């Protein structure tokens, strides 16, 4: 048990440069929320629903993270900061990272799979802050959900999703982002090759307009009459 705890704390440190030691990680609200969820989940599976809910509510009060006792969570889930909601039928794989203010929410069960209202996140998924993943959708392995994205459809393995409604950047994560990506959102390079091409087109258009303005100014200066000499006094 101690060895498993040490591995978990090390997995958090590998994804977050802020803590200087494992002791700091032990103070994280996401770590405590996960601990109390394990207790609540066992009570839920034992059909002790009221006790499971009581543990859930106490955990939410102290951590600002609401994980329904029925949610299924794999190894090494890292919830960075609070105000996250995970629904009853959500399924989370191994080594998943979720940032603050994320919702794994449900939809009308008649519109989805029977008995399944919440998302499934496969292994190594990263969900950026403020993202909303709604309904019984599946987010494939190593997919990235960008900050504030709203996902309502299945996400292919390795895709990076951005926007409202979320769309793929068309660049698979395996192609160019093999390492861990904080917040699931690339910051150093543009997400979409098409976007970079558009920027170049705009810069070329600005250069042409600048040349035209300079030519018009030069023509206007050339049309000005020569200045008259000043009158001399008698």
Domain residue spans in the chain?
2-184, 192-222
Q: What is the pLDDT of residue 202?
A: 84
CA distance 153 to 136: 8
Q: What is the mean pLDDT of residues 48-71?
A: 97
Q: What is the mean pLDDT of residues 25-30?
A: 95
**Bridge partner list, 181:** none
Return left, alpha or beta for 60; rule: phi > 0 is left, psi -120 to 50 is alpha, else beta. alpha
Please say whether the beta carbons of 156 and 128 come within 8 A: no
Please say whether the beta carbons of 151 and 168 come within 8 A: no
Q: What is the distance of C-alpha 166 from the center of its chain?
A: 11
Structure tokens at 16: 């977050």
Please say whether the beta carbons of 174 and 158 come within 8 A: yes
Structure tokens at 233: 């006094």
Instruction: Answer whether residue 180 shows pLDDT above 60.
Output: yes
Question: Which residues, other chains included, contact 180 with Cβ-Cβ below 8 Å and sequence gap of 6+?
Answer: 14, 15, 97, 126
- pLDDT above 70 covers a percentage of the chain that reads 81
Length of the chain: 234
CA distance 106 to 104: 7
CA distance 97 to 13: 12
CA distance 117 to 88: 8
Architecture of domain 2-184 in CATH?
3 Solenoid (2.160)
Q: What is the pLDDT of residues 134-166, one digit of tens each?
A: 999 999 999 999 999 999 999 999 999 988 887
Q: What is the pLDDT of residues 81-116, one digit of tens each?
A: 999 999 999 999 999 999 999 999 987 666 555 678
Instruction: Answer whether residue 234 shows pLDDT above 50.
Output: no
Residue 66 main-chain phi, psi, to 5 deg: -110, 105
Q: Going edge to edge, which strands form the sheet with 78-79?
A: 78-79, 97-98, 126-127, 144-145, 160-162, 167-168
Q: How confident is the model at residue 171 (pLDDT cuts 50, 70, 90)?
A: low
Q: What is the pLDDT of residues 201-229, one digit of tens each?
A: 888 889 889 998 888 888 888 877 755 55
Q: What is the pLDDT of residue 166?
A: 79
């Amino acid at each position: 048990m101690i060895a498993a705890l040490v591995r978990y704390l090390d997995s958090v440190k590998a994804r977050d440069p802020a803590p200087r030691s494992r002791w700091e990680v032990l103070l994280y609200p996401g770590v405590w929320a996960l601990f109390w969820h394990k207790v609540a989940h066992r009570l839920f599976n034992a059909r002790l629903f009221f006790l499971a809910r009581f543990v859930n509510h106490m955990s939410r009060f102290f951590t600002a993270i609401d994980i329904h006792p029925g949610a299924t969570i794999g190894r090494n889930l890292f919830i960075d900061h609070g105000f996250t909601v995970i629904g009853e039928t959500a399924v989370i794989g191994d080594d998943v990272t979720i940032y603050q203010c994320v919702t794994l929410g449900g939809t009308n069960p008649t519109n989805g799979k029977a008995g399944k209202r919440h998302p499934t996140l496969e292994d190594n998924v990263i969900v950026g802050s403020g993202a909303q993943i709604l309904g019984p959708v599946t987010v494939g392995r190593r997919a990235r959900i960008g900050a504030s994205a709203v996902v309502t459809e299945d996400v292919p393995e390795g895709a990076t999703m951005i926007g409202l409604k979320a769309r793929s950047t068309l660049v698979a994560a395996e192609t160019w982002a093999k390492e861990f990506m904080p917040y699931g959102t690339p910051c150093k390079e543009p997400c979409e090759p098409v976007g970079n091409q558009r920027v170049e087109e705009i810069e070329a258009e600005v250069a042409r307009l600048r040349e035209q303005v300079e030519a018009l100014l030069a023509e206007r200066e050339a049309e000005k009459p020569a200045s008259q000499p000043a009158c001399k006094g008698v």
